[in-house]
Chains A and B, each alone.
Chain A
Amino acid sequence: MKVIFLLLLLSLSSLSKSNTLRTTVHSIDLGNNSGDQVMVMLSTGEVLWLSKKEESLIKEFQNAYNQKLVLKINFSTKKILSSSATDFKLKNFSFNQTDTDPMSYIPTIIQDEEELKKLFLGARRTSKPETQCFNRAHIWTYEWRINHRVFSSKTWLFFTRKFIRKYKFDWWFHVAPTLTVQVDGKLVEKIVDIKYAKAPLKMKSWTDIFVRDYADCPVVNRYSDYADSPEEGSCFVMKSSMYYYQPIDLEDLELTGIQKMKWIRGEVQEAYREAFDTIF
């Protein structure tokens, strides 16, 4: 019995230590004061905290940021296990400034709260302890579309740098699916965060789970409104259609005017693999 318990303990500790991530570096914040820690914001949403004394590691991350390298990182040891060149290419596009609404369609109206509950309870669960919010959100919205013909949307919660530093927060964004439901003849948006909530929530209740000072998060419709307000308030919210996979898509929309209007096979595959250990 003791042996089984020990084995279980070992396997659990190895699970928690093997939190390797495959990601690019979204941005690096060296801090405003000499005592500040360096924040490495990863494209997957995590914030890696480094001491200024870890100069060589900071340089490695800066190099990866400049070259947009894809890194394999052990999150607990902050070690870069491997790096490879990204296969992204600079896009050729003609900029269309007028077409930058990330909500490219009218979402399906869920007829009542009972139907909403069914969608909530019927959503795929994962036994993996650590998964990425954007991967979970992508699969939940994808499967609602495939199995229930529902056009859903996503709500993005972005934390300001001021907030991240103040609370030494480990995330710079979070995302969850959103369904529009009819309640007493009125249309209400409910955030369906299956991992962090026991039921669909209204926006303020949902943001309060994460925003430690319970601040109201202004809703913006351009990524730059968040990115260019690093010291204003605690958080910002953005809404998009279900096809937007990562914050870079919202950034790209503003930069290029290109809307995401369909599922991208590689993204759905990656989301299934990372969040649900499922091959699509």
Chain B
Amino acid sequence: MKNIRQMTVSLLLLLIITSCKKKEKFINDLKDETLQNKWGNFKGKLYPVNPSQTPSLRGSLTAIYRQEFTATLRLAGARPSTLSLQGIHIGRCPDSRDDQNHDGLIDGEEGFKAFKEMIIPLDDDLNSQHMGWGIFPVTDAFGGYIWSRVATLENLLEDLRMEDINPYDEMSKILDKSLSLEGKVVVIRGINNLISLPDSVAGIGRLSPHAAFPVACGKLEKIFSTPGKIEKDEEISILYDSNQEGHGFDDDAFFSSLENDEINYGD
């Protein structure tokens, strides 16, 4: 009985020491300049991979990468009611050169050759690759969503540095000890099953042609400035020409017939 108690205490102590060492290692990692140099705010503007399917798709991934990793993804103009498998990949965004079978579409298989393995699935739990897998956002009735999650850098890096227990899936671990987001790509895959795709469109692994279909991609770049211009209440510079006032609008017609204007009111 006494032995069991001693063993339990020793085991607990060992666990605490290992955990403390891990914590200490992580704190040392945080001080590492190579890692800190890789921190920052990143943005990846999303563009349609297959514009014939989602011509007006727009969006972006904003990632804040410091002691915490926060990812916010805004998507608009995709197909409605679609599960969107989203993640950060190590390759590049596919383009028309990747349409190997020349069917006018980049399918899951062709796309994967360009964007390659996923390192951070943007799913329900950013702390690990496998926890939260399968829980992805679904586009609303207008084909959009805003999604955001956060992870601690400690958990994220620890998971990414672990041994790859399944080398055959589409996820990979990182080889170097620090994670760099610069140049990585964010990819969104999945198109509504109701959309008819030609037989030439292939899926990949366990993903059906629809689930693997790449819809959006964007390259992550570090942000050094905020968009826009600060206006210091200066004089504005309109090259004013009275003939141009209300340009694009038939002023006389507007007033000569308000009734006519009312007819034009509808969409």
Contact = CB atoms under 8 A, between A and B. Distances in A.
Interface of A: 27-33, 65-68, 86, 88, 90, 93-95, 104-109, 146, 149, 151, 161, 180, 186-189, 202-205, 216-220, 224-225, 227-233, 236-237, 251, 254-256, 261-266, 268
Contacts of A186: 235
B76 A189 contact: no
B249 A255 contact: no
A106 B245 contact: yes
Interface string B57-86: 011101010001010101011001000000
Interface residues of B, number: 56
Interface string B243-259: 01111110100010010
Contacts of A68: 140-142
Interface of B: 41, 43, 45, 55-56, 58-60, 62, 64, 68, 70, 72, 74, 76-77, 80, 138, 140-143, 146, 148-150, 223, 226-233, 235-238, 240-241, 244-249, 251, 255, 258, 261-262, 264-267
B76 A251 contact: yes
B56 A265 contact: no
A259 B108 CA distance: 35
Contacts of B255: 149
25 contacts: A27-B146, A28-B146, A29-B148, A90-B80, A90-B142, A93-B56, A95-B56, A106-B240, A106-B244, A106-B246, A151-B245, A187-B237, A202-B233, A205-B233, A219-B228, A219-B229, A220-B228, A225-B228, A229-B62, A233-B226, A237-B228, A263-B265, A264-B267, A265-B266, A268-B265
Contacts of A67: 140-141
Contact of A149 (B60, B150, B251): B251
Contact of A218 (B59, B230, B264): B230
B99 to A, nearest CB: 21
B133 to A, nearest CB: 19
A42 B140 CA distance: 15
A109 B240 contact: yes
Contacts of B267: 264
Contact of B62 (A86, A231, A233, A268): A231
A229 B248 contact: no
Contacts of A106: 238, 240-241, 244-247
Contacts of B245: 105-109, 151
A255 B146 contact: no
A255 B77 contact: yes
Given A95-B55, A203-B233, 17 more contacts: A32-B148, A32-B149, A93-B56, A105-B245, A106-B241, A106-B245, A107-B238, A180-B236, A187-B235, A187-B236, A216-B230, A224-B60, A225-B228, A251-B76, A254-B58, A264-B267, A265-B262
In order of increasing CB-CB distance, the 10 nearest A-B pairs are A218-B228, A265-B265, A220-B228, A228-B60, A225-B227, A32-B150, A202-B233, A186-B235, A151-B246, A68-B141
Contacts of B150: 32-33
Nearest to A257: B56
A40 to B, nearest CB: 12
B141 A66 contact: yes
Contacts of A231: 41, 62, 64, 70, 72
B56 A256 contact: yes
